[in-house]
Amino acid sequence: MKLPFFIVQLWRGLKVISGVSKFHHKIFINGFNNATLYPLDLTDKLSFVYSEIDGVPKVKLTDGVMISFPIHQAQIALAHWDCYIKHKDEAALKKFVVISEALISQVDDQGRIDTWSKIRPGSSKYSSMTQSLVASVVLRYELFFLKKEPSQTKKLMNSLVLDACFKNALYGGLEEIPESLNPCVLNGWLYSLFIFFEYEQIHSSVRYKAFLSDQLSLLEKVLPSYLCPFGTYYDLGSNYASPFYHDLHIKQFILLNEVTNNRFDDFYSELIKRNRLYYKAGMIFIKGLQKLREPIFNEIQG
């Protein structure tokens, strides 16, 4: 029996708030200068059961179809990589390699990966967050596992820099979900920038450095628009961030300040100010109401 949509949405929201959603897990900080670890510690993702086919993570949509979702796959791969680096876990390295090769096989001739076509057919099928996360995976696979020049990494990054499909036409920021009702998703924009800081530590590139500088300036200009009385907006379409995403914003700006000489400290202070318990109660209430009014689409089950 199919449950009413508002009950499904309420259940999903409660799972996110209570921390039992497999896609909204605890996230910690590794930092940008901690060996070859990914800047955010995603290893808690591995404590949740998720589906695999031939060692490659899959997700289930509302209609029951299992699909490849490269954002999830890349995050799982990075979690396995961190387990390998921290604990010398050879089994984790093997899993990382399998997922890395599966992700590389999804890259098209232009260096892009289809992310949304099966989930949000009204949006562009590409995602800047996917490009960055997959590039972070492939960088480690090429440089530290294969010990070769990161040619596939550069193919992904070049596409992210040059292709207009990854950028918001109005604000210029990188888009997790282009051509959608969620313009410039903040956490997706920040995830999209991480690969450029990572790459700079290994190979300096004038093109990538200039692109990153432009993106940081654009971000700085619009950041006040992400602040709301109860916390932060999820995007520039006035969708509120849940407490999970507000906390993720805090962690991401800790990392940005680490590599930009505290350039975003004022905004970070505003995030901390809005992280008190009564603010979070407001976030939960307002986000809950907004979630119930969201349109139905073939969503990932978490």
Say whether pLDDT at 203 is over 70.
yes
Least confident of 7-21, 25-39, 186-200, 285-299: 7-21
Q: Is the dihedral of CA 276, 277, 278, 282 positive or negative?
A: positive
Query: What is the SS3 assignment for 50-118?
Result: CEEECCEEEEEECCCCEECCHHHHHHHHHHHHHHHHHHCCHHHHHHHHHHHHHHHHCCCCCCCCCCCCC
Q: Report, as an integer, the average pLDDT of 214-223.
A: 98
pLDDT 10s digits, 37-96: 999 999 999 987 678 999 999 998 878 889 999 999 999 999 999 999 999 999 999 999
User: pLDDT: is 289 or 39 the higher one?
Assistant: 39
Q: Report, as an integer, the average pLDDT of 263-277.
A: 94
* Structure confidence at residue 1 (pLDDT): 44
Short-list 255, 183, 256, CA closest to 31: 255
* Structure confidence at residue 298 (pLDDT): 65
Q: Report, as an integer, the average pLDDT of 252-280.
A: 93
Q: What percent of the chain has pLDDT over 70?
A: 88
Say whether pLDDT at 15 is over 90.
no
pLDDT, averaged across the chain: 90
Q: What percent of the chain has pLDDT over 90?
A: 70
Helix (H) or strand (E) holding 11: helix 5-18
281: left (phi over 0), alpha (psi -120 to 50) or beta: alpha
* Structure confidence at residue 14 (pLDDT): 64
Q: Report, as an integer, the average pLDDT of 236-254.
A: 93
CATH topology of domain 5-292: Glycosyltransferase (1.50.10)
What does the alpha-carbon distance between residue 240 and residue 290 come to, in Å, rounded to a whole number? 8
Least confident of 3-12, 263-272, 291-300: 3-12
* Structure confidence at residue 188 (pLDDT): 98
Domain residue extents for the chain: 5-292
How does residue 230 score in pLDDT terms, banded at 50, 70 and 90?
A: confident
SS3 229: coil
Q: Report, as an integer, the average pLDDT of 227-233.
A: 91
pLDDT 10s digits, 141-167: 999 999 999 999 999 999 999 999 999
How does residue 122 score in pLDDT terms, banded at 50, 70 and 90?
A: confident
How does residue 301 score in pLDDT terms, banded at 50, 70 and 90?
A: confident
